[in-house]
Chains A and B, each alone.
Chain A
Amino acid sequence: GDSVTQMEGPVTLSEEAFLTINCTYTATGYPSLFWYVQYPGEGLQLLLKATKADDKGSNKGFEATYRKETTSFHLEKGSVQVSDSAVYFCALSEDGGATNKLIFGTGTLLAVQP
């Protein structure tokens, strides 16, 4: 079945460092791809999404490009802040988005130090 694999954490960076969190997927159809963020003690919030190949999702300085040829959706940010410390989840929608049933990766904890 469909699945998502993302790099294990924790990822520890200094403020203003460049961030990459890798995400690859396996899907039989053409899924939509998402990054969700979970701050401590809170639920998940959508960070960005892309619905078709070569689309770039972006929000709050974060970016990810839907790469069909490499089945990847890596999350990047040019300069992280302490407030970006959270758990980041890569996800895909099964059935190409018809049901919006999401399959999540295991999450990557990001810790940004001042």
Chain B
Amino acid sequence: DAGVIQSPRHEVTEMGQEVTLRCKPISGHNSLFWYRQTMMRGLELLIYFNNNVPIDDSGMPEDRFSAKMPNASFSTLKIQPSEPRDSAVYFCASNEGQGRNTIYFGEGSWLTVV
């Protein structure tokens, strides 16, 4: 079975450019999560969706970050404009959305902003 699929796996971009990260959750999963991982701050939850609706975006660092989920099989995380401090690994994760079910992570998008 396909897991959570993220793209791109690696991206290097210049400061000020727009970055779009993409995620395809596991089919049938109703909840989708975006996490950011850095050495300094560890794993931070940025935003999560339930049935394509954003439920909690309190972790989104600032207005430069936005996330969308136009349908059950696709989500994007956009940074515009990007800054060097946005360099991190961004993980997408999904789960069935109810009870105490396991959250499954993608392999991450490694972003470097120079």
Determine the residue in chain A with the shortest Cβ distance to B6: A43
Does B102 touch A at the CB level, under 8 Å? yes
Residues of B contacting A104 with CB < 8 Å? 42-43
Residues of A contacting B12 with CB < 8 Å? none
Contacting pair B100 A101 (CB below 8 A): no
When A and B form their complex, what is the total count of cross-chain residue pairs whose Cβ atoms lie within 8 Å? 51
Does A42 touch B at the CB level, under 8 Å? yes
B80, chain A: closest CB distance, angstroms: 25
Q: A-contacting residues of B (Cβ < 8 Å)? A: 4, 31, 33, 42-43, 45, 48, 50, 55-56, 91, 93, 95, 97, 99-108
- 20 A-B contacts (beta carbon < 8 Å): A43-B108, A44-B91, A44-B105, A45-B105, A49-B100, A49-B102, A89-B43, A93-B100, A99-B31, A99-B50, A99-B55, A100-B95, A100-B99, A100-B100, A100-B101, A100-B103, A101-B45, A101-B56, A102-B103, A104-B42
